[in-house]
Every structure is written in C-alpha cells, then in structure tokens.
C-alpha cells in the first residue's frame, strides 16, 4: 500500500521509462516519436488513480465491517444470552460477513478492470517501438478524437468510435460519464451530486487548495436567499460557511450581505450573485477541478497537438501570396486557426526535397535544374540511375541530363 501513495511520480516514471527504452532501440528517424511518449502522462495516470481509489475504497469497507463484527462479538460475549439469542446473533453476523464478501468481490472486479487498463496502456506505449508506426499513430489519433468528443459532451459518438476501433481500454469514457452526471445536475441548478463528489475526494481537493466546495456552498446559500428562506439561510451559513471564515472572510461578508439586498436588488455588486451565469461558472470550475484531480490537461489533447503543430509550421512566409501550396498554412482555414499562435522560433531556414521530403544539407546537397527548380542529390541520382542518366522535373516535366545539373551551396 505504501508504494501506491506516490501515484503521480510512478505514472510519470512509467511513461518516461517507456520513452527512454524506445529511444535506446529505435533508429534516429523515430526518436521524435519516442520523445512524444513523454507527453503521455495522462494516459497512464488516470487509470492508475482509479486503481488506487478502488483499493482505498475496498480497504475502508473491509476495516469498517470487520471492526463492527469484532465489536459485536465482544459485546455479545459480555452479555448473558440464551442459546436461541446467541444463534440469532451469530446468524446476523454471518449475514453481515457474507454481505462484506459480496462487496469485496465486486471491488476486486473493479480493481482487475483498472489493472487491465493500466496494462493495456503500457502495451500501447511499448507498441511504438514496433515497425508498424503508422498503425500506432492511427490508434493514437483515434484516442485524441475520443478525448475531444468526450470533453465536448458527444458521449454516444465517442463510445461508438472507441468500440469500432477496439480502444475501450485506451480511453476514459466511464470517467467522463461520471463527470457528466455532476455537470448535468449543476446545469439543472442542483449542487448535491457535486458536493458528494467533493466529499469523496476531500483530502485530495484540500491538498490542491481547491475552492470548489466553498463555491458550491455559497451557491446553495444564495438559492435559499433567492427563495426568501432567510432563517434557513442563516442556519445553513452557520453550519457550512462559517468553517471557511478563516480563509475566505471577504467572500463570506459579501455573500452574507445578500440577506439585506435580496434577489431583486439592482446593486451590481450583489446582483451578480443571483445571475444564471453563476451556474455556468460552477460547471467550468468543476471541469477544471475534475481534470486536475485525474491529471488530465484542461484543453483537449487534439487542440494541444494541433496548436503545437501549427505553431511549429507558422512563419511570416506562410502569409505571403507566393506561399507554396504544400504548406498547410497556405489554406485559409489553417491560417485562421494559427492566427493567435506564436511564430515558429526557427533562426535558420531548412531546405526539404520536394521528391523525397528529406532534409537537404551537406550530406545530401541540393542540385539546381536548368529551369531553376532545386531537388536533393539523393533523389536526382536515383532518378538518373533508373533513366540512363536523365532526370525529369516532377513539377514542370523538363527532361535534362544529370551532367547539366549545378550544385547549390548552402550558406
């Protein structure tokens, strides 16, 4: 049990171990893929956190029930019971223990499910070392799409994509469905499910200095004031809001003033407490706390990778009229997506061969055709070898001898 207390570091270490192993055995052309595995902390952490949660829940149930049974046996031993009373008492204890057994069996199934998911995700990351990288990337892209759909509340579509792609163990549909119940309740102006979630995760939320429970309590107080239940609101504040006074006195003073201003006030400082957008704020705050609790990114993974890719490609040249059509940012749609992103921080230009898509450098220098187009030596040598010393420009169709090509020098 002690080894499970360092969940965050264990999940990160596992991801980095897989990435380091991949780097050590993979060729240079695939090192970038190995580096990207270091970003997969969320993939491993979430089922691992659920695994720990299941273990803690089963342990609490066992300790509570066994402790109660032992206390009951001790009390019974100190009483002068008849034979029939003793039999009835023992029968009730047996029934209680049988109930505990059923609960532990159910808990064990949950633990096995989470362990299976951890294993499946480790195997998925290790599969990046295999030769079929395109298939692995395809699975990864589907994971990102499912993650995006779940965050955008397209639960049915996400479930169908996960099922059709056989990646149920690599995505977290059940986790997001748990969050959906709380989000739906908040959108229906109900705080009870969210408060129950806060109570269930109280120690971890306290460690992260979360204000979610406090905000939920404030909203529940405001609803009592809105309904003109002032006495009940005061009682509620004494019981649930007063303990927060040491750290949130200013917020408490402002919200308590609503007892005097009422829900129909025109004073902007207090009118805001009664506006419907307060519930939208609670929904967003819950989403953020939910993501932090399970080590998930606040933004969908699809957005993060898309923004990173667009930023890496974005240069001032992309917005010029003569930008090559092969540049994704030559398209208006990509330009709009990239407009708020920073430019790529590349201090030196790179020449990439149109034919092989490989970098042209001193090892593979560029050659200039008579029509001015430039291609790599490697590509043109291969073309000349197959065509009796002649090369053909793939963009204009010009045919010339390899001896007519001129070497270009990169300064």
3-state secondary structure the chain: CHHHHCHHHHHHHHHHHHHHHHHHHCCHHHHHHHHHHHHCHHHHHHHHHHHHHHHHHHHHHHHHHHHHHHHHHHHHHCCCCCHHHHHHHHHHHHHHHHHHHHHHHHHHHHHHHHHHHHHHHHHHHHHHHCCCHHHHHHHHHHHHHHHHHHHCCCHHHHHHHHHHHCCHHHCCHHHHHHHHHHHHHHHCCCCHHHHHHHHHCHHHHHHCCCCHHHHHHHHHHHHHHHCCCHHHHHHHHHHHHHHHHHHHHHHHHHHHCHHHHCCCCCCHHHHHHHCCHHHHHHHHHHHHHHHHHCCCCCCCHHHHHHHHHHHHHCCHHHHCCCCCCCCHHHCHHHHHHHCCCCCCCCCCCCEECCCCCCEECCCCCEEECCCCCEEEHHHHHHHHHHCCCEEECCCCCCEEEHHHCEECCCC
pLDDT range class, residue 199, cuts 50, 70, 90: very high
Residues 6+ apart with CB under 8 A from 273: 222, 255, 258
What mean pLDDT comes out for the span 388-406?
91
Q: Which of 38-47, 107-116, 213-222, 307-316 has the lowest mean pLDDT?
A: 38-47
Q: Which of 34-48, 117-131, 275-289 has the lowest mean pLDDT?
A: 34-48
Which two structure tokens, joined as six digits, stand for 201? 């995760």
Please write the tens of the pLDDT for every residue from 49-79.
Answer: 888 888 888 888 899 888 888 888 888 888 8
Q: Provide the pLDDT for residue 357.
A: 86
Task: Find residue 366's DSSP bridge partners.
Answer: 376
- 351-407: which CATH topology? Herpes Virus-1 (3.30.40)
Q: Provide the pLDDT for residue 384.
A: 93
Largest CA distance in the chain: 113
Calpha distance 61→293 (Å, rounded): 23
Does the pLDDT value for residue 6 go beyond 80?
no
Say what the alpha-carbon torsion angle 252, 253, 256, 260 is, to the nearest 10 degrees: -160
Does the pLDDT value for residue 410 go beyond 80?
no
Does the pLDDT value for residue 328 go beyond 70?
yes
Does the pLDDT value for residue 369 go beyond 80?
yes
pLDDT range class, residue 347, cuts 50, 70, 90: low
Instruction: State how beta strands 366-368 and 390-392 pair.
Output: unpaired
Share of the chain above pLDDT 70, in %: 88
């Amino acid at each position: 049990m002690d080894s499970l207390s360092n969940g965050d570091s264990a999940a990160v270490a596992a991801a980095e171990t897989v990435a380091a192993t991949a780097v050590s055995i993979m060729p240079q052309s695939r090192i970038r893929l190995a580096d990207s595995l270091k970003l997969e902390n969320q993939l491993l952490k979430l089922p691992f956190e659920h695994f720990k949660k299941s273990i803690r829940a089963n342990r609490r149930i066992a300790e509570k029930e066994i402790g109660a049974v032992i206390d009951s046996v001790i009390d019974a031993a100190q009483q002068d019971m008849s034979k029939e009373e003793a039999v009835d008492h023992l029968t009730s204890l047996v029934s209680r223990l049988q109930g505990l057994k059923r609960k532990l069996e159910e808990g064990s199934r949950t633990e096995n499910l989470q362990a299976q998911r951890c294993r499946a995700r480790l195997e998925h990351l290790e599969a990046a070392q295999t030769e079929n990288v395109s298939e692995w990337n395809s699975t990864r892209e589907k994971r990102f799409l499912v993650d995006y759909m779940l965050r955008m509340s397209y639960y049915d579509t996400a479930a169908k994509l996960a099922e059709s792609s056989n990646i149920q163990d690599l995505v977290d549909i059940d986790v997001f469905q748990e969050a959906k119940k709380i989000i739906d309740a908040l959108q229906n102006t109900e705080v009870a499910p969210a408060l129950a979630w806060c109570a269930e995760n109280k120690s971890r939320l306290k460690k992260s200095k979360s204000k979610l429970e406090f905000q939920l309590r404030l909203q529940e107080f405001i609803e009592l004031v809105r309904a003109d239940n002032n006495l009940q609101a005061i009682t509620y504040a004494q019981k649930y809001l007063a303990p927060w006074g040491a750290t949130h006195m200013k917020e408490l003073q402002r919200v308590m003033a609503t007892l005097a201003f009422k829900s129909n006030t025109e004073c902007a400082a207090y009118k805001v407490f009664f506006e419907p957008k307060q519930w939208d704020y609670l929904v967003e705050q819950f989403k953020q706390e939910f993501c932090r609790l399970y080590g998930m990114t606040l933004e969908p993974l699809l957005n993060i990778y898309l923004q990173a890719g667009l930023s890496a490609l974005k240069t001032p040249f992309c917005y010029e009229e003569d930008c090559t059509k092969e540049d994704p940012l030559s398209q208006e749609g990509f330009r709009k997506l990239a407009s708020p992103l920073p430019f790529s921080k590349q201090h030196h230009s790179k020449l990439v061969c149109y034919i092989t898509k490989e970098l042209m450098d001193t090892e593979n220098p560029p050659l200039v055709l008579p029509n001015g187009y430039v291609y790599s030596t490697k590509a043109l040598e291969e073309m000349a070898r197959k065509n009796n010393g002649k090369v053909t420009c793939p963009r204009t169709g010009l045919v010339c001898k390899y001896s007519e090509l001129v070497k270009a020098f990169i300064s």
